[in-house]
Structure 1
Amino acid sequence: MYQEPNYTQTVSMRLSEVLADIGVDERMVLKRRRAWLLREAILNVNNQLWNENSFILYFFGSQLERTTTLKMGSDTDHLYCLNNFNVMQDWSEWIPCVHNLLMIQDNSVSPGYCLLQMLRRDAPLPLDGVSNQDFVRDRTGKLLLKHSILLNGYVDKSKFHGPARVDQGSHGNCDRDHVLAMHCNTWPQQARQWLDQQGDSQWPSAEIKQYCSRTGCLVVPVGCRGSEHEQLEWRISTSLAERCLMLNLNITQIRCYVLMKMVIKSFLDPQFEDVISSYMCKTVLFHCIANSHFNIWRENNLLSCLSLCLYLLYDNIINENCPHFIIPENNLMRGKISPVDKPYILEILNNIINSAGVALLGIECDGLGSRLHLKFYNLCPFKTREHVSGFLLHDTACVISSSKFICSAFNNEAVQTLTNCLSKILNDQCEGLVERACQLLLPMYCTTLGSVLASININQHNTVSADALKLISLGLNTDVASSKLKLASILYCVQEIQKADLVLSEIERSYDLQIVEPVCSCYKFKNKQLKQGFFATCDNANEDVLQYATASCVEFLPCEIHCVPTELRYEMIRSTQEDRTFRTEEDNIWMDNSVVDSLPYLYFLQYKVNSRLGKNNEKQSALSKLLRTIITEPNLAHRETAFNILGKCMEQEGRVRDALQYYLMSFNLRMRNNAAKIHICTLLSVMGNFRA
């Protein structure tokens, strides 16, 4: 880059173009927000159906705000707001028969924090007579709640970072932060002055502030570091209001925030990790927007906006004070910067600010520096924004798919439980994304209930009732294959072979191998690489495309056992008692079910159906496709199960050595909780008896 009369504008426009190329543009911001808010709605609908609305889930942070990129590795923030507590700031807000907690905000408490006094459930009076490790009585006799009460449910405290329990991502997944919180319906006293303040830019508007005040606040279980009452203090969080502020930023403000985080990640984190947090950068951005004219936040002024934010951050570090945007008395930098590190941090920031944008060429994250360099030579680097769409929709499909595993906990009462769920979905009055979430979940619940009824019918009468078939038909288009494969499996089990053949042929016609992606939510399986055809299909689409471009794994509960061919029933008894001790919580959700990827199951059923129909060529073709899929499809989540059913096919062919080989390949993929052990032992027994 070189200096010219309109240098700042030129760099700003090139920066804006580069960020758009990697997915930070208006369309992708709106798309990502919709996707994350839709997932939030789906999970909350399921929570209301199964957990009687015991909590409300909120997504926060970069993923929802679209202030991250594919390579930044931003975590996912999950906040669970518990509904069985009533946090109040005034005695008039007391509610009978719930856990009432009175917020105490006085001079003894750190700014931005509070104490919680436990009250009686039967009268608006202080609670007496309780003494255990979760409560402390202060000098005046008030019974105060320790914030450890919300953390005691987690066994491994080493995974905590502040108030959040961090689940480390595996196989390339992002980390997930889980925060437990309690909601207070009223705006915090310490933040009430903010509602009346107005900066130079008239941002945020009176309407936005009015909305923010209606969100109330949250209290999260963490005290101010170094405080005298650290174990008793609860942080007052205005995250719901801040989410509203973030969702009202323009694209230049969002890009400025992304660039700030890239600067910190590239130049400060390698030497001073976690000293300057993303939340500090967000707070600095808020202050800059509130105290500058709105007209400066334009694409052709992005570099100046970034410099403005970095100047303020520099000033905050000098003073070791980054005031919270809504509760300014809360200093976010308190105790964060050591005297030894401070001059080096300031030097690095000063060099970046004075480089007039040249330092940005050194940012390797998402190839931003090299992409910017190419832009100045009028070259067009590869655009990744269509990949963002693909990953977004694939993740949405996983969330929808995961809903079916909730049924596992109610296996013995599946009919009544699923009927109740369907009734709630149909009768609830909802709108917006909650209504859309219900529309996406309804077909899945219909198919599951229909399959459970079909299993009962087959067991009792060896046929399937019209009611069961009608329910199954309502969910046939949830994706390309999984629900239709359930129907084909049921038809096969009741000897309706010709009908099963027709269904399988329809599935194969609609399953475009260049586009359709397998979807699995059983465990933290990370897809190696999604297909280019899938990315292209998703680029200009919303969640409606999932029924044409994804294929969820096919899952049968134990109460659906009569809808499952004999070969696949072994998956329901895959675990010995010893194996069970090696299961994770995620494993327990699905490992007592029969679960198989759609494409291998399609070819397996074709093999079985064509065997019954005496079509030898078609049977061998299906067997070849099954083997080829297992070997070449990179994104099979249940490859070990696919090897198991391939082994059963080989047994039917009389190729026992090949069968043993495939069982062993399955076993090598998953050495515990794998039905391959049963197949190997049975086959070796048969081979031994044959030789004898």
Structure 2
Amino acid sequence: MFQEPDYREHLSLALSEVLHDIGVNERMVMRRRRHVMLRETMDKISYRLTDTNMTGYCLGSQTEGTTTIGLDSDFDVLACHHDLNIIQDWSDLEHGKENYLMIQDENTSPGYCFLQLLQPYDPLSVTVIPDEHHISDRSGRILLKNTICKGVIQGAVEHGPSHAIQGQPGLCDRDNVLALPCKSWHQSASGWLGRQGIGRWPTQDMRRFAASTGCFVVPTGSKVSVYPDLEWRISTTLAERCLIFNLNITQIRCYVLLKMILKSFLNPQGEINISSFMCKTVLLHCIQNTETSVWKDNNLFTCLTYCLLELHSCVQNDCCSHFIIPENNLMAGQFTADTKHILSKNICELIQIDRQWLFSIDIDDLGHRLQVKLNMVPRGVYYFLSFLEIQEKVLTFGYLDIANYISRCHMLVLYYLHNKNIMTMKQSVSKLMTFSDNGNRLQQAAFKFLAPFIFTSYGSILASSSICENNQVSPQALVWLSAGLSSDITSSRLKLASVFYSTGDMERAELILRHTEQQYYSYPVEPICRCWEKPQGAITAEFMRVCSEQSEVCIKHITAFCVRFIHKEINCVPRELRYEMFRSTQDDMIHRNQYGDFWMAWVVVDSIPFLYFLQYKIYRHLQRHQDQQQVLSKLIRTIVTDENLSHKETALNILGQCMEQENRPQQALKCYLLSLQQRARNNAANFHICKLLSGLLACQ
């Protein structure tokens, strides 16, 4: 099987080179993984700071680095809730928590379980059904339904246990899987810990780590279950992630090719007959059953053929055994006899016609690239992105994803702090510092991204309090504001300038703004805002070049985050912008998403419009009329030409305020009406219009 004919070795090497060129190489795989693991770590930090009893784990192709631009993989997140204690033995009962015992008996499908509600002091005493999410079975046990998680995530399409966020142009689809953790390794997977394949893979270290990760239960029943609403699937997803992280590059390339085959030949219309998880499982079985030395670049095509043969056998037998819990048949009830016949026929054809089908894979131009690499067609016949262009794209969107996640985490922390007292805020900042002092390398890297934003917000809150007391900025507030200046190229500096403006220190505020504007136009800067989900706008070639050439630290120097003030910072906000905190009428509140629109109770403004507005106000105060008119023109030009503004309605509102101060009420009214076209509800423009018209009527 593994004695390669010369042409197969030649084809394997060419195929490996093509996959390298489209980004499936050691460097890009590791960079993809680091980007996503940074995202996961920032999530964990923000949950810790906000006392959220939850952990998010990033999973799937994006995390594994087993994807390409053309595969367009979605983003899988396991949202793990720790409010419930899931146990396998009554000795693990915890007081003060709801305890559930994992039960596997003749009524549960292999790889699935029931969750029985227990009492800490008398486990068998629960006989009363507490709510509609529980049910009593024939034995009198109180079981938790998996339907408790239905409808949890608004705007999501439910597929079994996952909630897919789809249909947002320019954004990666997200698959959110809700889960409950069990600290101990599941008993049904204990046999796997003692098994070892021909190539001594997985290693003992991998198995030891896998066992330390425990397991999860996710809310979905087997397709062949008699009790689909009561079963919970047992998941060993962190152990599986560990295994994928330990594959060599040939094995990763083989997995990527299997996914391309799925998309091109086996699930061409987007239907999910065979899942990528089944392909991953087949790959892991094949790796376990072969010598490690087989998996190398000059053997790639034969390894791929071996995986297809194994997949064909699985389809023929209606059985694909879970790699860690082999009793769980992933194909049970998955497809009809007709579908099985078609799939079997298609896989068989791929194996029999040898390499020809590779040339018809359009994903990432793989087929055309392979033809060129094998000298079957001249190099100039087809055009496709070079390796450097693909690297630029992958790194650019990776950096932007990190930046967007910083924005999201900062917003969640602000939401937590907005109604907390100073002591609680101080405690949160102290918690944050532990990740710098005692964290691992990934936590320290995440800390360096998140901390400046939180320092700035904390300093601004302290400043607002001291301004209220004596119109001065306390030394402590200045220390924290200064510590946050490295957040990005604009937002923290603008907040500091706004603090000085609010105390009447116009000269220091003007100096900061002038320096910030110079810095902004010295770099290829992209605006960042995740207050609401919006498509990514056009990205400049210069920005992509910087991303390709520099490490992730460059994010701080090439991004301009939106500026956020919660209500506790109100004394640091110019008077004209404070209306944004009261943008919603009682009727508007009905149209706000309680989970995502909480920022509407704050002042949130894009960096550059805010910079020009502050300059306008300062130059007006300093009676520098020519400079005042110049920045007003810049503000107008920015609003008209910048397509990447996330809060254009707010920018139009502050422009309207400027027009009122210029005694140009008609232009001010036009700005407010344009603002309402951007956001009809939850918009301070409604208040500005009423105030403007009231003033005009009073003058008549």
CA distance in 2, matches of 1:575, 1:307: 61
C-alpha separation in 2, matches of 1:331 and 1:173:
34
Map Cα deviations across residues 509-529 of structure 1 (whole Å, 9 max, x no partner).
Answer: 211366111110101112122
What corresponds to 2:418 in structure 1?
411
Bigger mean CA offset, 492-501 vs 146-155: 146-155
The equivalent residue for 2:503 is 494
Asked if 2 retains the 8 angstrom alpha-carbon contact of 1:405 and 1:589, the reply is no
Output one character per residue of 1:283-311: Cα deviation in whole Å (capped at 9) or x when no partner.
11111111122222222332222222222
C-alpha RMSD of the superposition: 2.4
For 1:99, the aligned partner's letter is E
In 1, Cα distance between equivalents of 2:322 and 2:507: 68
Contact persistence 2:143–2:230 (CA under 8 A): yes
- Going from structure 1 to structure 2, the CA distance change for 1:629 and 1:22 (only over 3 Å counts) comes to farther
Would you say 1:120 and 2:114 are equivalent positions? no
CA contact (8 A) 1:212 1:240 kept: yes
**Uncovered stretches (5+) of structure 1, i.e. residues with no partner:** none
State yes or no: 1:525 paired with 2:531.
Answer: no
Distance 1:285 1:500, change over 3 A: same
State the shift of 1:47 in Å: 1.0
- Over the matched positions of the two proteins, sequence identity in percent amounts to 45
Tell me how far apart the structure 2 counterparts of residues 12 and 155 of structure 1 sit (CA, whole Å).
46
Confirm or deny: 8 A CA contact 2:224 2:332 kept in the other structure.
no
Separation in 2, partners of 1:284, 1:41:
30
Contact 1:260/1:306 (CA < 8 Å) preserved in 2? yes
Q: Secondary structure of the residue that 2:338 maps to in structure 1? A: coil
2:77 alignment counterpart: 78
Contact 2:523–2:558 at 8 Å: present in 1 too?
Answer: no
Match of 1:19 in 2: 19
CA distance in 2, matches of 1:155, 1:668: 25
Q: Does 1:423 align with 2:421?
A: no
User: Which residue in the other structure is 1:321 paired with?
Assistant: 319
Is the aligned partner of 1:681 residue 2:679? no
TM-score by length of 1: 0.93
Q: What is the Cα deviation at residue 689 of structure 1?
A: 5.0
The structural deviation recorded for 1:155 is 7.5
Letter in 2 for 1:136: I
CA distance in 2, matches of 1:688, 1:268: 70
Distance 1:120 1:501, change over 3 A: same
Return the alpha-carbon distance in structure 2 between the equivalents of residues 20 and 356 of structure 1: 22
Shift of 1:180: 2.2
Q: How far 1:404 moved relative to its partner? A: 2.8
Higher deviation after alignment, 224-233 or 407-416: 407-416
2:104 paired residue number: 105
Q: 1:595–1:373: structure 2 CA closer, same or farther, 3 Å change rule? A: farther
Greater shift in the superposed pair: 101-110 or 487-496? 101-110
**Where do 1:81-230 residues align within 5 Å?**
81-123=80-122, 125=124, 127-130=126-129, 132-151=131-150, 153=152, 159-230=157-228
Report the more deviating stretch, 144-153 or 293-302: 144-153
Residue 480 (structure 2) aligns with: 471
Aligned twin of 2:649: 640
Asked if structure 2 preserves the Cα contact closer than 8 Å seen for 1:96 and 1:123, the reply is no
SS of the residue corresponding to residue 529 of structure 1 reads: coil
Are the counterparts in 1 of residues 171 and 536 from structure 2 also a CA contact under 8 Å?
A: no
CA distance in 2, matches of 1:272, 1:625: 48
Classify 1:152/1:501 alpha carbon distance in 2 versus 1 (closer, same or farther; 3 Å): closer
Contact 1:571/1:674 (CA < 8 Å) preserved in 2? yes
**1:643-686 C-alpha deviation (Å, 9 max, x unpaired):** 22222223333333333333222221111112222223333444
Equivalent of residue 236 in structure 2, options 232, 235, 238: 238
User: Given that residues 414 and 452 in structure 1 are in contact (C-alpha distance below 8 angstroms), is that contact kept between their aligned partners in structure 2?
Assistant: no
| Alpha-carbon distance in structure 2 between the residues aligned to 1:307 and 1:384 | 28
2:14 corresponds to which letter in structure 1?
R
Q: C-alpha displacement at 1:254, in angstroms?
A: 1.4
Residue correspondence of structure 1 range 293-442 to structure 2 within 5 A: 293-375=291-373, 376=375, 377-378=378-379, 381-382=385-386, 383-406=389-412, 407-427=414-434, 429-442=438-451
1:194-230 residue CA offsets vs partner (Å, 9 max, x unmatched): 1222222221112111211121211111111232232
* 2:607 pairs with 1:598: yes
Structure 1: distance between partners of 2:503 and 2:649: 27
Distance change >3 Å, CA 222–CA 494, structure 1 → 2: same
TM-score, structure 2 normalization: 0.92
CA shift at 1:279, angstroms?
0.8
Checking the alignment, whether the CA contact within 8 Å between 2:223 and 2:334 is kept in structure 1 is no
Unaligned 5+ residue runs, structure 2? none
Range with greater deviation from structure 2 (109-118 or 6-15): 6-15
Instruction: Find the counterpart in structure 1 of residue 49 from structure 2.
Output: 49
Pair 1:677–1:372, CA change in 2 (3 A):
farther
* Contact persistence 1:85–1:101 (CA under 8 A): yes
Aligned residues: 686
CA contact (8 A) 1:418 1:445 kept: no
Distance in 2 of aligned mates of 1:364 and 1:218: 37
> 1:630 and 1:373, CA in 2 relative to 1: closer, same or farther beyond 3 A?
farther
Alpha-carbon contact 2:39-2:405 (below 8 Å) kept? yes
